[in-house]
Amino acid sequence: MRDEGRVARECVEGYLYSLPPLQLLIFRRPPSRGSIWVPVSGKVEPTDRDFESALRRELVEETGLDAPERVLPLDWHVPFRADNGETWRLHAFAVEVDAAFIPRLSPEHDLAEWVSPAEARRRLHYEDNRAAVDRLVSIVRASPPND
C-alpha cells in the first residue's frame, strides 16, 4: 500500500492580484526551467514561522515585494509528486498589491505580466494553478477590500 498521506516537504505559492479591475501578475520561468508561466512559489524553510511567513520571504526573494496590501489564504492545500518521487504539498495565498507594482525579477523568472484572470488561466502551466485562480476570483470577489 502506498503512503499517500506522508508529506515530505511543504511549499507555498502566492497569486499576486490588483483591484479594480481584477488582474493577476504571473511570472515566466526562463528557458532553462521550461519557459512556463507560474505564480510566486517556493519551499517552506525551517526558519519560517509558518506558511505565510514562508510566502512573504518568497515574495521578497522573487519580486522584491516586502509590504503587500493584504494576504488572503486560499485554503488550497494541494499534494503533488516532486521530481524525486516524494509527496510535497502546496499552500496557496492571494496577495493584493497595487496595480502599479513592478516586480524586481529574480533569476527564477525572466518575465512578469499583468493579465486578466481568464488569461492567467490560459497561460498558467499547471492545472492546480488554474484551479487556484478560480478560487482566488471567488474569494476576492466575496472579500471586501481593506479600508
Give me the CATH number covering residue 67. 3.90.79.10
The predicted model scores a pTM of 0.91
Question: Residue range 124-145: average pLDDT?
Answer: 90
* 39 lies in some domain: yes
Question: Residue range 126-137: average pLDDT?
Answer: 95
Count CB neighbours of 34 within 10 A.
11
For the stretch 61-89, pLDDT in tens is 999 999 999 999 999 899 999 989 999 99
- At residue 144 the predicted structure's pLDDT band, cuts being 50, 70 and 90, is low
- Position 78, amino acid: V
Q: Considering its fold, how many domains does the chain have in total? A: 1
* 147 lies in some domain: no
- pLDDT at 147 (0 to 100): 47
Cell of 125: 502551466
Give the Cα separation of 10 and 45 in Å (integer).
Answer: 9
Share of the chain above pLDDT 70, in %: 94
* 128 lies in some domain: yes
- Structural domain range at position 81: 9-142
